[in-house]
Amino acid sequence: MPLNQGLKPSNLVQALERAFSILDILGQSPQGISIRELSTKISLPKGTTHRLLSSLAYFGYVRQDSKTRNYFLGFKLVELGNLLLSQLDLRKEAEPFLRDLAERTNETVHMVFLDRGEIVYIDKVELDHNPSGLRMASRVGLRNPAHSSAVGKVLLSDLPEEELNSLIKEKGLPKRTENTITDFLPLKEHLRAVRTQGYAIDDEENEKGIRCVAAPIYNETGKVVAAISISAPAFRVTKKVIQESLKKEVMETAFKISQRLGFKRNKAK
């Protein structure tokens, strides 16, 4: 049974191939399926099939009916599907606001979300008539550490403390430039300030010569789902320029996008 429409990679992990085959079969079985029938369909021993199902059930991708003992797709897939749709909707809803922000400020604008402890660029608006001629290394799909960027700090500031602690323990705080915050306690104090003030600044902490200011995007429940930033050469965008104009520009644009997603100001945490 084909799992996707691309070429099958030579280094495909067998356990994952089997797990996704199970998910495909369950998706085609609205009445559920017994472990015996499932093991026959995927040509695996019942014991192996049970171990795969147990692992998938633990993570929420499979569930078992307590009466019929049949297996069904799990609700984790609904959650992931909704997250994917929200990300697609977010980019569509945000695009005109991002372009307007870039044109009004004559600077590069990014939008990112947090994934597995890293930021992922999901949109970038860089004007053709860039006055500095400087092109940033960022691109859609690129991943970066969260702690060294303005957008990343905005997203980290919304995490529960336990999740933040776990993330930092796993990812560490690698030094990107001489300005990167690499100590945990100063970072936590910095993130508290970011959360209070509603914006973050990257003072050449991720890329030498680039300064950024970022603000959060909220969904209808008041959860931070993404962040946008204005990025520019540090020689042109000073801290004074950020405080006097750019922080207001990025915060207002982020709020407009949040409103399009159903956010109301009193829902913010």
Residue listed under structure tokens 């021993």: 45
CATH of the domain at 47: 1.10.10.10
- Let me know whether 159 and 201 are in one domain: yes
- Total domain count for the chain? 2
- Let me know whether 223 and 125 are in one domain: yes
In the predicted structure, residue 187 carries a pLDDT above the cut 80: yes
Dist. CA 145–CA 154, nearest whole Å: 13
Long-range contacts of residues 2-6, Cβ cutoff 8 Å, at least 24 apart: none
In the predicted structure, residue 131 carries a pLDDT above the cut 70: no
User: What is the mean pLDDT of the segment spanning 127-149?
Assistant: 75
pTM metric for this prediction:
0.68
pLDDT band at 3 (very low <50, low <70, confident <90, very high): very low
Q: Which amino acid type is present at position 120?
A: V
User: What is the mean pLDDT of the segment spanning 83-110?
Assistant: 88
Tens of pLDDT, residue by residue over 60-76, are: 999 999 999 999 999 98
What pLDDT is recorded for position 78?
Answer: 83
In the predicted structure, residue 1 carries a pLDDT above the cut 80: no
- Let me know whether 58 and 181 are in one domain: no
In the predicted structure, residue 81 carries a pLDDT above the cut 80: no
Sheet of strand 210-218: strand arrangement: 143-145, 118-125, 108-115, 224-233, 210-218, 200-203
| C-alpha torsion sign, points 107, 113, 116, 120 | negative
Tens of pLDDT, residue by residue over 199-248, are: 999 999 999 999 999 999 998 889 999 999 999 999 999 999 999 999 99
| C-alpha torsion sign, points 152, 104, 246, 268 | negative
- Let me know whether 59 and 163 are in one domain: no
Tens of pLDDT, residue by residue over 209-222, are: 999 999 999 988 89
CATH of the domain at 263: 3.30.450.40
**Whether the Cβ atoms of residue 227 and residue 155 lie closer than 8 Å to each other:** yes
Domain that holds residue 26: 14-74
What pLDDT is recorded for position 265?
Answer: 74
- Let me know whether 123 and 52 are in one domain: no
| Apex 132 CA angle, 129 and 133, nearest 5 | 65
What pLDDT is recorded for position 141?
Answer: 78
- Let me know whether 148 and 100 are in one domain: yes
Assess if residue 9 is contained within a domain.
no
In the predicted structure, residue 83 carries a pLDDT above the cut 80: no
Q: How much of the chain exceeds pLDDT 90, in percent?
A: 72
Q: How far is CA 146 from CA 103, 207, 253, in A?
A: 26, 13, 21
- Let me know whether 87 and 55 are in one domain: no
